[in-house]
Amino acid sequence: MKSWNRPDVPTLPGRGPIPQLFDDSRGHKVASPGTDGRAGIYVCGITPYDATHIGHASTYVAFDGFQRLWLDAGLDVDYVQNVTDVDDPLLERAAATGVDWSALAASQVDLFRADMTALRVLPPRDYVAVTDAITPIADAVGRLVDEGYGYFVETPDARVPGARDIYFDSTAAAERTSWHLGLESRLDTLSMDAFFAERGGDPDRAGKRHRLDPLLWRTAREGEPSWPSIVGEGRPGWHIECSVIALQHLGPHFGLQGGGSDLVFPHHEFSAAHATALTGEPFADAYAHAGMVAYEGEKMSKSLGNLVLVSRLRAAGVDPSAVRLVILGHHYRADWEWTDAELADAIDRLESWRSAAAVPSASGDQVEELELLDELRRVLSDDLDTPAALAAVDAWVSRASASGGLVAKAVDALLGVQL
Ligand code: 5CA
Ligand code: ZN
């Protein structure tokens, strides 16, 4: 599927270090990408309705930040992202609003592309719709069944009498594969159950071997989209889509799996479980998650409807760089709340940075600019400390001698903010 336009990334003098990032599977910081030196990254994409809210934007800006550090360290980046363009919540929204589900998805993906372009987020090399990956996903489900990791569950409302849904046998995978991410290790059984139910799972479904076994393949129902496949007519479950798209486009093992912290469990845990059951290898080397953005006291979410949309801010004339600065003002792992006051501060900050960067460099000034570049590289490579990076630029701006072609380039290349 078409990705979006790539913003220019200026080349800076020297090289930045390989960044450290907090790996949620190990519970501490690691150098990423690890020893294989290949910067392969998969970030879970949108389910295309109510796009693009600031929570989405914040997550994509975070992983954009890591990619900018990898590029600055001289690495090539292989970036893959999916679009969950067929799934229950999208179908429910389409039905509720009387819109064709695929038209809804297409229009929302267009909006998302325009928002990402405006925010200067680097595009994925491969931007993959689930509806374009049905056959490899179904083939993978078939293999999981053949190898004893998938099983059938009676489905009375199947369109074809006797057809059945397919579930992942997480107990078999835990016993017979090396899968153990431990992403769930900080969760007790009760909260796992609650998260599973809240995030698309069905712990009470009759006929499952374990309450937390996730759906691999949903057999066709009346009135739902479905595709013919080796495992019958139907559509993919949620986690297997990301496992298969990542495996297809990045290979069995790659550097970083990313997304918002609402994907830690069950989504990333089971995407890794499915992939490991398929390949016999660990999936991503590290797993990183962005904090949740709230608005008016609650997590910004489509289901609650408390959304601040990037496109609405743009239509109101807000400079996307100011939106980016609001986001960068928070550490990517922190949960935070969007406020108009922070947007006003970011607009002022952008103005002050632009004025300072517009002053032509006098001789000798490069020393200070190079010092700032070093400082930016130092703080950003420590788990993407963007608040410290903004403070460093503020300090530079406040110095009377500020002047800065190089600073403008560094802020563009490392923070994605155009001055
Ligand atoms: N399609 C799936 C992933 S395969 C999905 O979660 N889609 S989504 O549209 O709900 O979210 C897209 C991305 O934005 C995910 O990485 C999700 O973790 C992140 N996200 C969603 N809401 C927020 C929020 N309030 N704050 C920060 N990130 C969020
Ligand atoms: Zn995903």
- In this predicted structure, the answer to whether residue 25 has a pLDDT above a threshold of 60 is yes
CB within 8 Å of 54: residues ≥ 6 apart: 293, 295, 300, 308, 309, 310, 323, 326, 327, 338
**In this predicted model, what pLDDT tens digit does every residue of 79-104 receive, in sequence order?**
999 999 999 999 999 999 999 999 99
**In this predicted model, what pLDDT tens digit does every residue of 153-165 receive, in sequence order?**
999 999 999 999 9
CB within 8 Å of 241: residues ≥ 6 apart: 82, 84, 130, 133, 137
Q: Write down the pLDDT at residue 227.
A: 98
Tally of CA atoms within 13 A in the half-sphere of 336 that contains its CB: 18
Residue from 41, 42, 43, 46 to probe ligand 1 pocket by mutation (most atoms less than 8 Å from CB): 46
Ligand 1 pocket (Cβ < 6 Å) reads: 44-47, 55-56, 58-59, 82, 84, 242, 259-260, 262-263, 290, 292-293, 299-301
Q: Write down the pLDDT at residue 408.
A: 93
Name the residue at shortest CA distance from atom 29 of ligand 1: 55
DSSP category for residue 263: G
Q: Write down the pLDDT at residue 361.
A: 62
**Ligand 1 atom closest to residue 242's alpha carbon, by position in its atom list:** 4
- In this predicted structure, the answer to whether residue 352 has a pLDDT above a threshold of 70 is yes
Q: Which residue segments constitute the domains of the chain, with CATH numbers given? A: 20-294 (3.40.50.620)
Across the chain, mean pLDDT equals: 94
CA distance 157 to 165: 10
**In this predicted model, what pLDDT tens digit does every residue of 127-145 receive, in sequence order?**
999 999 999 999 999 999 9
How much is the average pLDDT of 212-230?
97
What's the CA-to-centroid distance between 240 and ligand 2, angstroms?
9
Q: Are 389 and 383 in contact (CB under 8 A)?
A: no
What's the CA-to-centroid distance between 207 and ligand 1, angstroms?
30
What's the CA-to-centroid distance between 403 and ligand 1, angstroms?
39
Q: Write down the pLDDT at residue 193.
A: 85
Q: Which of 360 and 386 is assigned the larger pLDDT?
A: 386
**In this predicted model, what pLDDT tens digit does every residue of 226-263 receive, in sequence order?**
999 999 999 999 999 999 999 999 999 999 999 999 99
**In this predicted model, what pLDDT tens digit does every residue of 267-315 receive, in sequence order?**
999 999 999 999 999 999 999 999 999 999 988 887 788 899 999 999 9
| Banded pLDDT at 363 (limits 50, 70, 90) | low
| Banded pLDDT at 364 (limits 50, 70, 90) | low
**284 alpha carbon, closest ligand:** 2
Q: Write down the pLDDT at residue 397.
A: 92
Weakest mean pLDDT among 111-115, 177-181, 253-257, 299-303: 177-181
Structure token pair of residue 6: 């790539």
